[in-house]
A and B are shown apart, each in its own frame.
Chain A
Amino acid sequence: MIEIRNLYKSFGVKSVLSGTALTIAKGESLAIIGQSGCGKSVLLKHIVGLLKPDAGEVIVEGENIWQVSLERLYEIRQKFGVLFQGAALFDSMNVAENISLGLREHTLMSETAIAARVKDCLAMVGLSGSEDMKPSELSGGMKKRVGLARAIAMKPSYVLYDEPTTGLDPITADTINDLIIRLNERLHVTTVVVTHDMVSTYKVADRIVMLHDGKIIYSGTPSEVRETDNPVVRQFIEGRAEGPIKTATTRAT
């Protein structure tokens, strides 16, 4: 279980998180939605300890990740697999080296066992046989799938997705959504998806929370979200410029 308690984070004068609180139960598939730039990715990076909060706590399975030693923080991070927005594959390595890096660093597995795990992970994301390809040879969708294969290689307890479908065509995006669901079922992981893609959200999430003005303002199942009369959530899911959420255009008028 992950608990986020009263999290505050500012960059210069811009306050991004202001008292964010969220509990993520083991095994659930949670989507965090919100406007672009509202701090979803910042929240995700706090969960895995890539950003240090100005105030507040992130508790992963009972441990406050900013009250443990750096070595322990690195151990806690091994419980996570993260798919970054741009996949963040290591340019200097091929697909197999990208996927196997964590295994080589943290396990005593033999080369044969590592090669077998890489093969399994690539099969799970539908990219069998691409071990020797370089990231520069892959399309956007393939990069995301290799990123996903890398994220699951260490058999993590939590898989975090930062905008997994952004920049992809609808068909490839749907393939990624299916993959998220399949991995969640097969690996029994806790899934956290940060997105503003409502098609993806409804498809992959058991529970949806909305981040707005640095706080979680709504939590509900996909069907509850569809029915909600919360004006902020309604404006967001209906994709309207007019409403309580101020956009650049509505602010100017």
Chain B
Amino acid sequence: MRPRTRSLLAAATLACAGLAALDGAAAAAHRAPAAHPSRATLTVGEFNPFSGPDASFGPEMVGGCIPAVRLINLDGGVMGHPITCLVEDTRGDPADAVPAADKMMATVSNLVGVLGPSSDEALATVPLLNRGQVPMFVDTGQAAFDHSPYPYFWRITPADDVKGYALALWAHRAGYTRAAAVFGSDVGSQSDVPTLVKAFKQLGGHIVINQRIALDSTSYRTEVEKLVQARPQVIFTEVDPQTGATYLSELQQLHGLIPVIGTEVTLEAPWLKAVTGAIGAGAMARDFTGMQPYAPPSGPAWATFNGSLLHSSASVPQPRQWSQDPYSMTYYDGVNIMALAMLAARSTKPSRFNRDIPLVTEPGPGKVVVTSFAMGKAELAKGRRIQYVGAGGPIVFNRWHNSTGAFEAARLVGGQVKIIGEVTAAQIAQLSGH
């Protein structure tokens, strides 16, 4: 084949591929109706990193969204509309997330809400989603949203500054005064550090070393030696499973393990599995404590969530790993809240039902407490007002659409996560001055 012909062939092939993609998108847009016709499927976007350094965020979200839409669809959907979850990978950075958000809003039929964005891309994409009038149940912990001006922004997971206070309070309660901060260099991990340092100091403690760890190195011997020289009594940490396993096993070999207090990331199944494999179950049981948002795996709402989760194995790989995951629970709650708000507003249009979101979660006189979509739907059909109490517990939004509660401390005992104590919302509020 002559070079020129080859070039033309290559150009034609690539152009066809591009045109096909655009044509598909255009066709999807053409199919998307302006209003939601009868029985049209409603879509909830899972707008989170499914690749990149924070790729573990996305599957956690799937573990909440799928069980929720499964139950809603089993109950006949929302006003006859089935509902579905759609993955939109932000890849964990603003440059990829911005076109992803624009693409999702342009091409997804009947987009009624979004789970996410995460801290990786929230500041760049929350304004876009708000502009597009898409209600979002974010999982970013950034303190920048503590006083959010965006009406379509809703946060039922704790802010990172709250997490820092909870870790510091638990260490203080255990009598530690010298601590090391060992956090991954990724955005999600680093956003915990400033308030942790501040809060621990407020409580009379001292962060003797603050390490920002490059993830997934083959060895952390240098960092471990520096840590040992600083003589901390306890280690605060949030790193990915592989990094945690390497770091702590080297610490164990060089010096012996020091008590560890981790964030909710360290209570996720992959982290527990990797680190237990590296340092042993006995050391884990003795020296490790994880702090996570208070979402006890008990009660009727959690039982409903967990039952649906375990029946979702076709769409959620190894669903059991998300049974006690507070983030999966809050994503589940986010979908239910939006669906109930649609019923309360008698509209699937986000600009209509968004304002009704607090109406289905706030407590109030004469309200009926419901713990599932089905219960809420039945009560609303009777003309009653409802308060949805979710798998993650009660939800009360403040004027900035933030709702954060208590934290629980958990340990790994006999291969099972056991709750051993609680840091209350009042204690956190007292320390933070909010």
- Asked if chains A and B come from one complex, the reply is no
| A contacts, CB < 8 Å to B | none
| B contacts, CB < 8 Å to A | none
